[in-house]
């Protein structure tokens, strides 16, 4: 059985009617998975309630400053507001963001228990959230939190993060690049939001690989990057676990970028990852065209079965 970690509570992070990062993203994906030919092989799991997630706050504080965590909680508890023009906080957003982080931690546990992949279907996304501020729809840096948690497990010495979201994961990189046991690799449209992720950025331990691609790029650009850059970089690092910040906003129909991928291409990317290891946690980041977003997640899961 393939674990998908999901909760209807993730729908309670309200962003507003016209905001692209909306609850319907998750319901569209969940419906597509339930309608897929492999649906009977999916094990739907609820995330550990944050009151019972004993390690959650310690790893959250590895990724974020106490002042920032308190700020998110305070904005939510006083009725909501904005971290920036793109990043709303609703009354339940703090609780939901914590539960999303808990789901990513649960995903690590699921992968380590079976040595097979798992998928975290959660929101809000996380890869733009820096240690002391949220931005770009993101509140807490889920992939970084999951990586720090994984390193606490006795069988894990090194963790790699592959970020195939169309936007550079500035938050993830900034949080993990000082940690020698974590490697971060991102391929992303450039120029594009948030304007970071230059190829010259190598991290503090030569543990960062950024691969900016120009607008209009398609799988013919991505495929050689996987074969000649990404897989050699990850294989050389020899991770005990791979975390994929799985954003699907590189699809041609996505409204927030200008990359021309198709849903089936994410199946190909998944195959490349599986050739490296089966210990992979996929966690949802971006993707805002419901149809291609859902098809892409289905393509990812299908290759893991």
Residue 22, pLDDT score: 97
**pLDDT of 53 over the 90 cut:** no
Which residues is 160 bridged to in the sheet?
183, 242
Q: What is the mean pLDDT of residues 192-208?
A: 98
The per-residue pLDDT for range 215-259, each reduced to its tens digit, is: 999 999 999 999 999 999 999 999 999 999 999 999 999 999 999
Residue 55, pLDDT score: 86
Q: What is the mean pLDDT of residues 211-218?
A: 98
The per-residue pLDDT for range 57-104, each reduced to its tens digit, is: 999 999 999 999 999 999 999 999 999 999 999 999 999 999 999 999
Structural domains counted in the chain = 1
Alpha helices by DSSP H, 1-92: 24-35, 56-63, 66-77
* Integer Rg of the chain from CA: 17
Three-class SS state of 88: strand
CATH code, 128: 3.40.800.20
Confidence of residue 54 (pLDDT cuts 50, 70, 90): confident
Angle at 127 between CA 195 and CA 139, to 5 degrees: 110
Residue 174, pLDDT score: 98
Three-class SS state of 35: helix
**Strand locations in the chain (E):** 2-5, 42-45, 81-84, 87-89, 118-120, 159-163, 182-189, 208-213, 241-246, 280-284
Q: 138 lies in which domain range? A: 2-304
What span, in angstroms and rounded, lies between the C-alpha atoms of 77 and 91? 6
Question: Do residues 121 and 70 lie in contact, with contact meaning Cβ atoms separated by under 8 Å?
Answer: no
Question: Do residues 165 and 247 lie in contact, with contact meaning Cβ atoms separated by under 8 Å?
Answer: yes
Catalytic residues: 128
What span, in angstroms and rounded, lies between the C-alpha atoms of 90 and 72? 10
Centre a 10 Å sphere on the Cβ of residue 303 and count the other Cβ atoms it contains.
Answer: 17
Average pLDDT over the chain, rounded to whole? Answer: 98
**pLDDT of 267 over the 90 cut:** yes
Q: What is the mean pLDDT of residues 102-123?
A: 98
Classify burial at 73, counting beta carbons within 10 Å of its beta carbon; exposed 0-12, middle 13-18, buried 19 or more: middle
Does this model's pTM top 0.95? Answer: yes
Centre a 10 Å sphere on the Cβ of residue 157 and count the other Cβ atoms it contains.
Answer: 13
**pLDDT of 274 over the 90 cut:** yes
The per-residue pLDDT for range 133-146, each reduced to its tens digit, is: 999 999 999 999 99
What span, in angstroms and rounded, lies between the C-alpha atoms of 4 and 33? 10
Question: Do residues 146 and 283 lie in contact, with contact meaning Cβ atoms separated by under 8 Å?
Answer: yes
**pLDDT of 25 over the 90 cut:** yes
Q: What is the mean pLDDT of residues 34-44?
A: 98
CA distances from 30 to 14, 63, 270 (A): 18, 29, 19
The 10 Å CB-count burial string (b at 16+, else e) for 146-156 is bbbbbbeeeeb
Report CA 226 to chain centroid distance, whole Å. Answer: 18
**pLDDT of 175 over the 90 cut:** yes
């Amino acid at each position: 059985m393939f674990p998908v970690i999901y909760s209807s509570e993730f729908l309670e992070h309200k962003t507003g009617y016209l905001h692209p990062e909306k609850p319907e993203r998750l319901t569209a994906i969940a419906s597509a998975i339930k309608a897929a030919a492999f649906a009977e092989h999916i094990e739907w799991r609820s995330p550990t309630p944050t009151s019972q997630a004993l390690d959650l706050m310690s790893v959250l504080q590895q990724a974020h400053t106490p002042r920032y965590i308190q700020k998110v909680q305070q904005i939510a508890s006083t009725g909501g507001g904005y971290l920036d023009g793109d990043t709303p906080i609703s009354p339940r957003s703090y609780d939901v963001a914590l539960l999303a982080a808990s789901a990513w931690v649960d995903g690590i546990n699921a992968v380590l228990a079976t040595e097979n992949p798992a998928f975290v279907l959660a929101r809000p996304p996380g890869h733009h959230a820096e240690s002391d501020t949220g931005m770009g729809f993101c509140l807490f840096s889920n992939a970084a939190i999951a990586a720090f948690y994984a390193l606490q497990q006795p069988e894990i010495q090194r963790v790699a993060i592959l970020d195939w979201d169309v936007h550079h994961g500035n938050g993830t990189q900034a949080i993990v690049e000082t940690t020698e046991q974590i490697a971060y690799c991102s391929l992303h449209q450039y120029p594009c939001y948030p304007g970071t992720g230059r190829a010259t950025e190598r991290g503090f331990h030569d543990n960062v690989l950024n691969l900016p691609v120009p607008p209009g790029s398609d799988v013919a650009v991505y495929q050689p990057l996987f074969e000649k850059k990404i897989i050699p970089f990850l294989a050389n690092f020899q991770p005990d676990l791979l975390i994929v910040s799985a954003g699907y906003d590189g699809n041609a129909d996505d409204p927030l970028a200008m990359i021309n991928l198709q849903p089936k291409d994410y199946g190909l990317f998944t195959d490349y990852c599986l050739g490296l290891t089966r210990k992979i946690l996929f966690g949802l980041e971006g993707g805002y065209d419901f149809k291609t977003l859902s098809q892409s997640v289905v393509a990812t899961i299908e290759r893991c079965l």
